[in-house]
């Protein structure tokens, strides 16, 4: 399929075998005592979100945000932060004891930058700095990345002729509309993602030549350049998906009502037969098999 953006990271597998209903009940208990059990709550929320366990049982929720706000009376933004802490720190090989020792505030900051290679440095900084000092260090780290002795914000694009400049300005406008970002680095990231999403190892250059030649911009525009899955909404790595597969309903191949935009991650889950596309209360969602 024709792609339009960035590929998401593969998330770590979770071997937890707690039934969905018990996991949700545990999450309810943990939100009342977040600091001492930060890691466990993060793990519960991650699994509920990653495996979409909020779809299991009664009532069903179309999105993770609906679930945490209705069932846990908990901020969806905070819940996503905690889920991302578990995701990021698990990938970096950081234990729950360390996270609970640092607390939620510093852990959320570290989730922005920590990985397997730099975890020892950042954990040491976190233990010996205040929250404000750590936040300043992380902001400085993110803003000060250097490419060929120039900060990202100072990128200059060479214009060899007038047509190149016009093309660049048009791309800037498109990327701004899709991502809400106007910086040159954001434009370059989107262009790289577009290329990787189409020609990379997990891209779709060889998977569907028909859809590549028919990008269906009207479908993308109808959904405001966002993935149609209610719990996602990303504006990157979009492909137009046939709700009823072309092989099963060739009569609906050109029917706009049979098409929705999906990001690469969700699109691949469907076509790799790992998830089913379902609709709950008029909203699209994926149910893992």
Whether the Cβ atoms of residue 225 and residue 178 lie closer than 8 Å to each other: yes
Give the per-residue pLDDT at 206: 42
**Does residue 283 have a pLDDT over 80?**
yes
Pick the more confident residue, 251 or 141. Answer: 251
- The encoded tokens of residue 91 equal 């990938």
- Average pLDDT score, the chain: 76
Domain co-membership, 159 together with 263: no
Domain co-membership, 110 together with 191: no
Q: Which of 44, 43, 48 is nearest to 66 (CA)?
A: 48
| Burial class of residue 221 (count of CB atoms within 10 Å of its CB; 0-12, 13-18, 19+) | exposed
Domain co-membership, 81 together with 131: yes
Domain co-membership, 57 together with 106: yes
| Burial class of residue 39 (count of CB atoms within 10 Å of its CB; 0-12, 13-18, 19+) | buried
Whether the Cβ atoms of residue 236 and residue 226 lie closer than 8 Å to each other: no
Give the per-residue pLDDT at 198: 59
Tokens 């069903």 sit at which residue?
Answer: 60
| pTM of the full structure | 0.50
Tokens 């709550």 sit at which residue?
Answer: 41
| pLDDT tens for each residue of 53-64 | 888 777 778 888
Whether the Cβ atoms of residue 284 and residue 229 lie closer than 8 Å to each other: yes
Domain co-membership, 174 together with 241: no
Q: Which of 235, 264, 258 is nearest to 245 (CA)?
A: 258
Domain co-membership, 124 together with 104: yes
Pick the more confident residue, 181 or 61. Answer: 61
Give the per-residue pLDDT at 241: 86
Give the per-residue pLDDT at 124: 92
Domain co-membership, 110 together with 170: no
Domain co-membership, 136 together with 45: yes
Measured CA distances, 140 to 113, 136, 151, 184, 189 (Å): 11, 6, 12, 19, 20
Q: What 3-state DSSP class applies to 247?
A: coil
Residue 40: which domain range? 20-143
Q: What is the mean pLDDT of residues 34-59?
A: 82
Q: pLDDT category, 113, cuts 50, 70, 90?
A: confident
Quick check: is 10 in a domain? no
* Buried residues in 228-263 as b, exposed as e (16+ CB within 10 A): bbbbbebbbbbbbbbbbeeeeeeebeeeeebbbbbb
Q: Of 155-169, 215-229, 243-257, 264-278, where does mean pLDDT reach its minimum?
A: 155-169
Phi-psi region of 156 (alpha: psi -120 to 50; beta: other; left: phi over 0): beta
Percent of the chain with pLDDT over 70: 73
Strands 283-288 and 238-242 turn out to be unpaired
Domain co-membership, 236 together with 263: yes
* DSSP letter (8 states) at residue 261: E
| Number of domains into which the chain is organized | 3
| pLDDT tens for each residue of 68-109 | 988 888 888 888 888 888 888 998 999 888 888 888 788 888
Domain co-membership, 134 together with 69: yes
Domain co-membership, 24 together with 133: yes
Element counts in the chain: helices (H) and strands (E):
13, 6
Quick check: is 130 in a domain? yes
Quick check: is 9 in a domain? no
Q: pLDDT category, 152, cuts 50, 70, 90?
A: very low
């Amino acid at each position: 399929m024709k792609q339009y953006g960035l590929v998401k990271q593969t998330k770590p597998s979770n071997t937890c075998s707690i039934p969905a209903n018990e996991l949700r009940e545990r999450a309810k208990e943990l939100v009342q005592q977040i600091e001492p059990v930060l890691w466990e709550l993060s793990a519960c929320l991650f699994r509920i979100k990653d495996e979409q366990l909020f779809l299991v049982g009664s009532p069903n929720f179309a999105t993770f945000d609906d679930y945490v706000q209705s069932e846990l009376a908990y901020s969806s933004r905070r819940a996503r932060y905690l889920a991302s802490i578990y995701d990021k720190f698990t990938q970096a090989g950081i234990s729950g004891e360390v996270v609970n020792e640092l607390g939620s505030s510093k852990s959320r900051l570290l989730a922005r930058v920590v990985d397997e290679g730099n975890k020892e440095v950042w954990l040491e900084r976190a233990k010996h700095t205040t929250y404000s000092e750590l936040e300043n260090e992380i902001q400085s780290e993110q803003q000060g990345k250097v490419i060929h002795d120039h900060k990202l914000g100072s990128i200059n694009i060479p214009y060899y002729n007038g047509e190149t400049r016009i093309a660049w300005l048009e791309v800037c406008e498109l990327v701004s509309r899709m991502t809400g970002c106007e910086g040159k680095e954001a434009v370059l990231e989107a262009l790289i993602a577009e290329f990787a999403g189409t020609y990379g190892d997990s891209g779709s250059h060889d998977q569907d030549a028909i859809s590549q030649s028919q990008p269906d911009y009207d479908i993308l525009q109808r959904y405001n350049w966002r993935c149609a899955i209610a719990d996602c909404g990303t504006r990157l790595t979009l492909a137009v998906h046939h709700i009823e597969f072309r092989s099963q309903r060739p009569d609906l191949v050109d029917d706009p009502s049979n098409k929705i935009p999906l990001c690469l991650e969700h699109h691949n889950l469907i076509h790799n037969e790992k998830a089913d596309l379902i609709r709950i209360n008029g909203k699209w969602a994926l149910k893992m098999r």
